[in-house]
């Protein structure tokens, strides 16, 4: 039954174009959107049934773990924050016609640089100065890392998808090098992590949860990226470049400079995600700080068709699924990583339904 449901969806998608009878198009489109949202959960339900898990019970418990209380909801937002920022790091270059898979590495180097700044220079700094300074250091770290990709693209004509992806590994080991070496906490009994940053540098936290101010920063930045893309001359040029690079060149744009700028800005956004992970959650740098957020952000960006405001919603959705993964493990005995299947299904169905959403513009 689940399967026939899924088939019906694809058929509907195929038939949507030529003949739309019955319902008014708007209602039909809303119905399709709802169907596309439900379809991955249905398909994942089939998977759960194979493992003898009741999908309805599980979805209910997933839902309550994410929305049942303040703590759970806070966790969703905490997860959504870095996903949103690395999502922006993927979406912004995508609008300029480039694919940045390097959110992961840019986040890591952002975390590294902000931690380094925090533990070496800002230990005694007051919050009003220290937190912005740390944020800038994080942004700088991500920008530098993306800058490497950008330079290779602009000067060396190398594919930014490949270089940004490969630099993720370099970033991972660079962070490892520092937490095992120069940045290692002398009081750590040889565990690979940095000394803690000072309490003054921790982001303010909402009472009764771990929720910190990072989500506000991320949402503001998403709004800013949306504004730049849709409301400014620069954004217009970026979108022209992304939609037709030939046309951009023939209109006399400084294409290389724009590509460089966009990638560096994207890196800065991912770097800020790294800083938020340090200042909001971890308090110190570990080799695995922020791991996987870069890829989740990339996923979120694709799901949102690189639209910054929709990205807020898709990040939230992925954050919810990620939090629900914990309850999956506790309640059903499935490994928590099986939520990745659910995430992948969500992506697949959203991409399949892409034609519906694609017409909209920033």
Partner 1 sequence: MSGEILLQAKGVTKRFGSLTANRNIDLEVRSGTIHAILGENGAGKSTLMKMLYGVYVPDEGEFRMDGETVELHPPAKARARGIGMVFQDFRLVPAMTVLDNIALAEHGGGFRLRRKRLRERIREVSDRYGLKVDPDAWVWQLDLGQRQRLEIVKALMSENARVIIFDEPTSVLAPQEVEAFLDLLRRLRADGYGVLLITHKIREVLACADHVTVLRAGEVVWSAGREAGWDEAALVRAMIGDKSLQQVGRRNGPHGEPGGEKAPAEPEPFVTITGGVIKGDHGEMVLADVRLEARAGEILGVAGISGSGQRELAEALFGLRALAEGELRVAGRPMPADPRAFIEAGVTFVSEDPLRDSVIPGFTILEHMVLDGLPMKPKGAGIDWRGVREALEASGEARALALADPGRMADTLSGGNVQRMVLTRALLRKPKALIVSYPSRGLDIGTTRVIQQRLIELAESGTAVVLFSEDLDELLALSDRIVVLSGRRLHGPYRTEETDAAAIGSRMLKGESA
Residues making contact with partner 1 (CB under 8 A): 231-234, 236, 239-240, 243-244, 246-247, 249-254, 361
Q: What's the burial of 304, exposed, middle or buried (CB within 10 Å: 0-12/13-18/19+)?
A: buried
State whether residue 205 is helix, strand or coil: strand
Report in angstroms how near the CB of residue 148 gets to partner 1 at its nearest.
Answer: 25
Report in angstroms how near the CB of residue 243 gets to partner 1 at its nearest.
Answer: 5
User: Residue 248 or residue 318: which is nearer to partner 1 going by CB?
Assistant: 248
User: Residue 237 or residue 340: which is nearer to partner 1 going by CB?
Assistant: 237
User: Residue 239 or residue 310: which is nearer to partner 1 going by CB?
Assistant: 239
Report in angstroms how near the CB of residue 226 gets to partner 1 at its nearest.
Answer: 13
Report in angstroms how near the CB of residue 92 gets to partner 1 at its nearest.
Answer: 17
DSSP string, 255-314: HHHHHHHHHHHHHHHHHHHHHHIIIIIISS--TTTTTTHHHHHHHHHHHTTT-HHHHHHH
Of 136, 80, 126, give the one whose Cα is nearest residue 324: 80
Report in angstroms how near the CB of residue 227 gets to partner 1 at its nearest.
Answer: 9
Report in angstroms how near the CB of residue 155 gets to partner 1 at its nearest.
Answer: 16
Report in angstroms how near the CB of residue 25 gets to partner 1 at its nearest.
Answer: 17
User: Residue 52 or residue 252: which is nearer to partner 1 going by CB?
Assistant: 252
Report in angstroms how near the CB of residue 52 gets to partner 1 at its nearest.
Answer: 41
Q: What does the buried/exposed string (b/e) look like for 200-239 if buried means 16 or more CB atoms within 10 Å of the residue's CB? A: bbbbeeeeebebbbbbebbbebbeebbebbbeeeebebbb
Contact yes or no for 292/336 (Cβ under 8 A): no
Q: Is 272 left (phi over 0), alpha (psi -120 to 50) or beta?
A: alpha
User: Residue 171 or residue 248: which is nearer to partner 1 going by CB?
Assistant: 248
User: Residue 79 or residue 239: which is nearer to partner 1 going by CB?
Assistant: 239
Of 89, 141, 90, 148, give the one whose Cα is nearest residue 115: 141
User: Residue 57 or residue 249: which is nearer to partner 1 going by CB?
Assistant: 249
User: Residue 173 or residue 236: which is nearer to partner 1 going by CB?
Assistant: 236
End-to-end, the C-alpha distance of the chain in Å comes to: 38
Of 223, 226, 220, give the one whose Cα is nearest residue 239: 226
| C-alpha to C-alpha distance for 278 and 134, rounded to whole angstroms | 10
State whether residue 212 is helix, strand or coil: strand
């Amino acid at each position: 039954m689940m399967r026939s449901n899924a088939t019906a969806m694809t058929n509907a998608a195929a038939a949507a174009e030529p003949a739309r009878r019955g319902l008014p198009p708007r209602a039909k489109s809303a119905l399709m959107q709802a169907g596309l949202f439900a379809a991955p959960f249905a398909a994942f339900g089939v998977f759960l049934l194979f493992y003898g898990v009741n999908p309805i019970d599980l979805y209910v418990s997933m839902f309550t773990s994410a929305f049942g209380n303040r703590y759970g909801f806070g966790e969703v937002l905490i997860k959504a924050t870095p996903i949103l920022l690395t999502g922006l790091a993927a979406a912004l270059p995508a609008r300029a016609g480039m694919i940045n898979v390097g959110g992961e590495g840019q986040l890591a180097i952002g975390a590294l640089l902000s931690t380094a700044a925090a533990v070496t220079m800002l230990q005694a700094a007051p919050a009003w100065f220290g937190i912005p300074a740390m944020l800038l250091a994080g942004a700088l770290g991500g920008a530098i890392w993306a800058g490497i990709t950008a330079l290779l693209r602009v000067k060396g004509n190398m594919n930014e998808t490949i270089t940004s992806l490969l630099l993720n590994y370099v970033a991972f080991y660079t962070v490892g090098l520092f937490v095992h070496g120069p940045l290692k906490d002398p009081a750590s009994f040889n565990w690979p992590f940095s000394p803690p940053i000072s309490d003054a540098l921790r982001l303010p936290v909402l009472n009764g949860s771990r929720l910190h101010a990072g989500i506000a920063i991320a949402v503001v930045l998403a709004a800013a990226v949306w504004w730049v893309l849709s409301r400014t001359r620069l954004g217009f040029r970026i979108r022209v470049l992304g939609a037709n690079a030939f046309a951009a060149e023939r209109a006399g744009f400084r294409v290389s400079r724009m590509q460089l700028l966009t990638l560096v800005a994207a890196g800065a956004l991912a770097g800020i995600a790294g800083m938020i992970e340090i200042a909001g959650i971890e308090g110190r740098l570990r080799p695995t700080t922020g791991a996987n957020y870069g890829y989740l952000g990339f996923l979120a960006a694709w799901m949102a068709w690189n639209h910054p405001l929709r990205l807020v919603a898709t990040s939230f959705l992925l954050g919810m699924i990620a939090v629900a993964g914990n309850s999956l493990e506790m309640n059903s005995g499935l490994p928590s990583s099986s939520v990745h299947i659910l995430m992948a299904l969500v992506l697949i169905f959203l991409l399949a339904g892409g034609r519906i959403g694609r017409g909209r513009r920033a």
